[in-house]
Amino acid sequence: MSNRLIDIDIAKGICIVLVVTGHYVPANAPEWYLTMIDVIYKFHMPLFMYASGLVYHATKKPVPCKRFVWKKFQRLGIPYILVSLLIICIKLLSEEKTHLAHPVSLASFYEILYLPSAGFFLWFVYVLFLIFLIIPFFDTPRKINFLLALSLTALIIPIQTTDLFCLAQFKSNLFYFVAGCFVSQYQRFIRQKTAHISVFLPLLCFVGLYLIARVYAHLPLVINCLNVCLALTGIGVTLKISRLIEMKILKLQPVFLKLALYSYTIYLFHTSFQGIAKAFFLKYPLPECLDNHISAVIMILMAVSAGLVGPILLHVGHDLFINLKRLPGNKPPVEGR
Task: Spell out the domain ranges in the chain.
Answer: 3-329
Note the pLDDT of residue 3. 47
- 251-273 pLDDT, tens digit per residue, is 889 999 999 999 999 999 999 99
pTM here? Answer: 0.91
Span 77-99, mean pLDDT?
Answer: 88
Q: What is the pLDDT of residue 136?
A: 94
Contact 180, 54 (CB under 8 A): yes
Q: What integer is the mean pLDDT of 17-45?
A: 92
Mean pLDDT, the chain, integer: 90
Q: pLDDT confidence of 2, banded at 50, 70, 90? A: very low
Q: How confident is the model at residue 192 (pLDDT cuts 50, 70, 90)?
A: confident
Interatomic CA distance for residues 136 and 65, integer angstroms: 7
Q: Is residue 122 a contact partner of residue 272, using CB atoms and an 8 Å limit?
A: no
**How far does Cα 187 stand from its chain's mean position?**
22
Q: Is the pLDDT of residue 336 over 80?
A: no
DSSP string, 268-296: HHHHHHHHHHHHHHHHSPPPTTS-HHHHH
pLDDT at 263: 96
Quick one: the chain helix, strand, coil %, rounded to 5?
75, 0, 25
Question: What is the arithmetic mean of pLDDT over 221-246?
Answer: 95
